Structure 1
């Protein structure tokens, strides 16, 4: 039997015991659903993952797409996988019935997606970006644009991308040079170059819809002068049929460390007369529209990182249970049989570390998805706004913490397998390579740290920051009612006090000290806040597990809940104390790295 892709029991726990996904069925948007339809969705995803995606996972990693100067070529299995995802309804499950979706809650869709990502994330990359593209156009585009571009994307006939990065402007979007000129018919001519565009060209669909950031001639400099355009690979006639090839040319493919089966492209727009593009919304508001997709993509990246972390943990756990080697130090008889390596203390340490990292990260991403559902469908405007405020604040952490600690979990998965972990007959080295992109994807960890400390903490009078602290305090108060958890609740309260002091101190420092020096430690602040949030979510899980154990469950569930408590204990005892050191660096405005001079390197 192959190792499980995901822990089915953990997904059940997250959906139904921790975040109460069943309660969402009481809302009009999800009234057609119940736990049976949710479980059916997960089972469908698991079947597609195991039967269609998993068999070609290693093949897709070993045989990258190629470009012959005219077309992209890739193994046919990828098209089979993409079509299976589309036909199962899993490509765009949260979309409304009217636009071809299943109108599922985001938290259920995220849980289902985890199976697909674990089995073949490269195939899901094409469909996930398409869904995010369609969601943006549906939110900010015209009725005509929805009809012309969104519906074919929902159907799987068109694919979608996000085209932001340029050779001279990556995270610094204020410096982008792609330009747009308005034509008499109301369309625009777009010219420029974009790089690292995931899924930028392929033959998997009839058409590809690029969402392109560009500056209209005469627009203000900086981010305030950026507009957003729909620029298709093929133009589309009024009757929906494909028209002429647009001036979107594939300049070449990039060859990545991981995620190799999803094309990473350099695209040239408008090499002659300009590629025909269609303005989304209003001129000069493109970045705000694109953030709709970027924030969705950031949650998607965090979820992918968490999932790959879990997949590596599941594989190394399965391996450790069946791999005999060596004897315990306490066993003095050289004639005794070797024990399975899971009996060795250091293997248990590495497995528990993986569990704490990956399951903590997955809980964070599932919580983010639950906030998406509340933001869109909660009963009152006040509740919807509260969810939006908290989600907006947590997004940098949802993106970055799993992206940093998912690969760390994969590192330990390789180590558990020893020499076997380093060869591609086992997937753990591929998991690490695939996951290593996530700290960079959709804004590096450094960018996320600047977003958190420089924007999100103080935004709207500290609204998100305060909301986050209040939610954590509710959990602390609840945990104090349990004799087994009261000490951990006090520890989290003390760490939050340190976080608050650090926040106040560093923000005060920005008023009197060099802002660049103060923010040179922003990643440590992100580490600090991220660890506090993960500790909070582990305490939330522990509350549920503690109560469940009091009800004397059957043996399998008892082991599951005790595993949750042990992982929580590990995180509080081993990981959370590190925040003290990070807090000291940030609060004291340590300038060791900032003071390093260029010539000294």
Structure 2
């Protein structure tokens, strides 16, 4: 199967995306327009991205003292992406969008992520602009968001600092009012920012004429001191180059300076930067301090930023998924063509017989099936979440609210599960290649290097796990968890009547009960410390339960369309489902055992004993 055939099944046969065209927002669309979008993106990814994936890995960004230099291939790919209209595909017609369902946009963007995640699909620019469309003023939307959606400008997200990392309560970047008339600026209340931001993807480049930084900073109290914790954190628009109210560059640089490029294990084609705000290198109006415009209300920066953060987390999950898919396809092709060894018969090996292709060996087939179950299962997860976004935005009131809450619960899984298990898929892809996989003669080593970042950025595994067990399953008195359980039980009920799937339905029911029990036991003492010490094993088990559910749902739908499993695609989906239920789902017992007992082995060991 190809990526396109897999996407077609998931979009049209499983998620029934064409049904969305019955809603007013999407009424101009049809399966034909969806196909046209997929065709265009598949072609651009094939022609402009895939041939240059190795180029951008070896020709890393460098700073010539004035600007960051990127390979011409990156400029060409970015130009093609912008001209396709995909930057604003899901936006309103009146701002240049296509009003595509987000489900279709997410599917289309997967082609770019698989072809070259390092060149990028402008995830942060889109997220930045979407944040401003929700929390910005009308002027901020017109000047900043619309120029990002058009591709004229790019966007970033500036949270982390060298001394703080993911600990946002320790942010030290400060913002002070810029003059007595600071509130009268038409672009928003004007502040001067000073501080340092680290790990800023696409923080400096020449792909666009301007870069719109979204920056977290603290506004000092009346005594000039930063408020401890997150209460004082506010959000600011800090453009690289100053602009007027018409969105035109004034010719003046803002006081944002590139302090250095980070040289990474993977994603080498994407600049990653340390930025200094307000060091005086580019004084605005003869005055040091980076000019920033307040977004939303003072002290409410995190609430605004998480609108972008949640979108970015699903984007990270999609990137991880497509790297896993790329490695799977590469190792499958290799296994079909590489001769090595002979099969073992009743009397052992017959050395006089010719070698067989390695796909005929049981262990290679195990590794291929594991990759298939991880990557295709993760793709189903990401598209299901995208479908929830459409339901939240365009569904009837109750369905929309249910989708919102389900998305809250599933977002940590959508980010973390592909980041862990599609990385494992890439490791297996190297293993299928043997020694060749460890060389740069084959692409699978780069896929692994690129994917290793995804367990870290936009919130590490530990952060996602604490979010899931510490917040999401408890939200609204556990209603989100109950909604998810209800959907899982619906799939179990349908599948239980299908003889081929009935054993899996029973196993999934048991897993759901295990996760429910572990959730209760984790919080039995009411002490967050007791609950969260094993949050990561909990998240791993929760994620495996979710993926088992999605595979069962996919398999049930596949059999409904092809009852005899006569088509290879159906047989493949059933095989991946069998693999996941036989080899993967049983793992949750070990993970949940330490959760239920609130095992303190890791925290009780004295530091000196490590």
* RMSD of aligned alpha carbons: 1.3
SS in 2 for 1:397: helix
Partner of 1:253: 261
Displacement of 1:185: 3.1
Asked if structure 1 preserves the Cα contact closer than 8 Å seen for 2:534 and 2:595, the reply is yes
Partner of 2:204: 201
Say whether residues 1:490 and 2:506 are aligned partners: yes
Say whether residues 1:440 and 2:448 are aligned partners: no
Partner of 2:340: 325
Say whether residues 1:263 and 2:271 are aligned partners: yes
Asked if structure 2 preserves the Cα contact closer than 8 Å seen for 1:517 and 1:594, the reply is no
Output the CA distance in 2 between the equivalents of 1:489 and 1:426.
Answer: 40
Say whether residues 1:29 and 2:25 are aligned partners: yes
Asked if structure 1 preserves the Cα contact closer than 8 Å seen for 2:63 and 2:69, the reply is yes
Q: Which structure 2 residues correspond to residues 210-229 of structure 1 after superposition, within 5 A?
A: 210-218=213-221, 220-229=227-236
Q: How many residues align?
A: 588
SS in 2 for 1:124: coil
Q: Which structure 2 residues correspond to residues 298-447 of structure 1 after superposition, within 5 A?
A: 298-330=313-345, 332-378=349-395, 380-447=396-463
Deviations 1:477-532 (A, max 9, x none): 11112111111111110111111111111111334xxx434422110000110000
Q: 2:182 aligns with which of 168, 180, 185?
A: 185
Asked if structure 1 preserves the Cα contact closer than 8 Å seen for 2:53 and 2:119, the reply is no
SS in 1 for 2:330: helix
Q: 2:303 aligns with which of 280, 283, 288?
A: 288
Partner of 1:599: 608
Displacement of 1:318: 1.1
> Where does the alignment leave 5 or more consecutive residues of structure 1 unmatched?
none
Output the CA distance in 2 between the equivalents of 1:346 and 1:387.
Answer: 40
Q: Which structure 2 residues correspond to residues 15-26 of structure 1 after superposition, within 5 A?
A: 15-26=11-22
Displacement of 1:91: 2.4
Partner of 1:54: 50
SS in 1 for 2:533: helix
SS in 2 for 1:205: coil
Asked if structure 1 preserves the Cα contact closer than 8 Å seen for 2:144 and 2:247, the reply is no
Partner of 2:151: 156
Output the CA distance in 2 between the equivalents of 1:405 and 1:73.
Answer: 34
Output the CA distance in 2 between the equivalents of 1:93 and 1:60.
Answer: 26
Partner of 1:546: 559
Q: 1:528 aligns with which of 534, 541, 544?
A: 541
Partner of 1:519: 532
Output the CA distance in 2 between the equivalents of 1:239 and 1:560.
Answer: 53
Partner of 2:576: 567
Displacement of 1:150: 1.1
Asked if structure 2 preserves the Cα contact closer than 8 Å seen for 1:350 and 1:412, the reply is yes
Judged with a 3 Å threshold, the aligned counterparts in structure 2 of structure 1 residues 471 and 335 are, in CA distance, closer, same or farther, namely same
Asked if structure 1 preserves the Cα contact closer than 8 Å seen for 2:220 and 2:232, the reply is no
Asked if structure 2 preserves the Cα contact closer than 8 Å seen for 1:7 and 1:314, the reply is no
Asked if structure 2 preserves the Cα contact closer than 8 Å seen for 1:294 and 1:442, the reply is yes
Say whether residues 1:71 and 2:67 are aligned partners: yes
Partner of 1:94: 90
Deviations 1:402-454 (A, max 9, x none): 11101000000011111111111211110001010000010000000000111
Asked if structure 2 preserves the Cα contact closer than 8 Å seen for 1:545 and 1:562, the reply is no
Output the CA distance in 1 between the equivalents of 2:49 and 2:415.
Answer: 25
Deviations 1:150-169 (A, max 9, x none): 11111111000000000111
Output the CA distance in 1 between the equivalents of 2:153 and 2:4.
Answer: 32
Displacement of 1:332: 3.8
Output the CA distance in 2 between the equivalents of 1:588 and 1:185.
Answer: 56
Displacement of 1:224: 1.9
Output the CA distance in 1 between the equivalents of 2:471 and 2:375.
Answer: 28
Asked if structure 1 preserves the Cα contact closer than 8 Å seen for 2:261 and 2:273, the reply is yes
Partner of 1:119: 115
Output the CA distance in 2 between the equivalents of 1:270 and 1:483.
Answer: 67
**TM-score, normalised on structure 1?**
0.96
Partner of 2:244: 237
Partner of 2:294: 279
Asked if structure 2 preserves the Cα contact closer than 8 Å seen for 1:413 and 1:421, the reply is yes
